[in-house]
């Protein structure tokens, strides 16, 4: 990783010194604490986009779940109200975790020797169940705002953050693998 970062920064410096270069580098994150200081210094400006409001969260839910098997009548506006302080990324993760619940039910039934041919449709209850245990990104977003105002260094990830990131990565792999098998 260090070699890749060094090469990236050397190339970036080369672009900055070439008078004929017409390159724009744009980055976006909701995990600013994980960004490298040396790379951050190369960005001329930073903009905070802000958190989506209730209407935007409802639209994000609709976009993320478009084309998925969902029961009719899900109250996206209600779910969006329950997702206060969630980023678009948080909502995406919420939907992925909720989509895993019907798959988990199939796995449990298969362990009992019963076959279920197709997972049931995602329900509003699935979304609400995952919401009860989901973690928001608001803390990371507020750290970003505070650090940009103060010009300070962002908090380094704790070991518990790294463990959670690994768990989330494994969860994503399992869900995508199961969805691809269908």
Predicted pLDDT at 139: 52
Please tell me which residue, 180 or 163, carries the higher pLDDT value. Answer: 163
Would you say 144 and 48 are in contact if contact means Cβ atoms under 8 Å apart?
yes
Helix axes 88-111, 159-181, angle to 10 degrees: 60
Q: Which range, 17-31, 142-156, 166-180, is most confident?
A: 17-31
Residue-wise pLDDT for 86-111, tens only, equals 989 899 999 999 999 999 999 999 99
Q: Tell me which of 33-47, 76-90, 113-127 is least confident.
A: 33-47
Q: Tell me which of 24-38, 96-110, 112-126 is least confident.
A: 24-38
pTM of the model: 0.60
Predicted pLDDT at 57: 96
Q: Residue ranges of the domains in the chain?
A: 2-181
Would you say 156 and 33 are in contact if contact means Cβ atoms under 8 Å apart?
yes
CATH match of 2-181 with 1.10.8.60? yes
């Amino acid at each position: 990783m260090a070699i890749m970062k060094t090469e990236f920064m050397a190339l970036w410096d080369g672009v900055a010194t070439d008078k004929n270069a017409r390159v724009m580098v744009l980055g976006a994150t909701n995990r600013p604490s994980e960004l490298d200081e040396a790379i951050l210094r190369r960005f001329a400006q930073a903009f905070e986009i802000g958190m989506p409001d209730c209407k935007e969260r409802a639209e994000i839910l609709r976009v993320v779940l478009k084309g998925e098997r969902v029961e009719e009548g899900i109250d996206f506006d209600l779910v969006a109200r329950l997702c206060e302080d969630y980023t678009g990324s948080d909502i995406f993760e919420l939907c992925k975790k909720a989509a895993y619940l019907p798959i988990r039910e199939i796995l449990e039934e298969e362990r009992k020797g019963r076959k279920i041919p197709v997972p049931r449709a995602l329900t509003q209850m699935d979304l609400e169940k995952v919401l009860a245990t989901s973690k928001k990104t608001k803390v990371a977003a507020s750290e970003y705002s505070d650090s940009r105002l103060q010009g300070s260094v962002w908090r380094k990830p704790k070991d518990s953050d790294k463990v959670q990131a690994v768990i989330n990565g494994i969860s994503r792999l399992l869900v995508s693998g199961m969805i691809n098998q269908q």
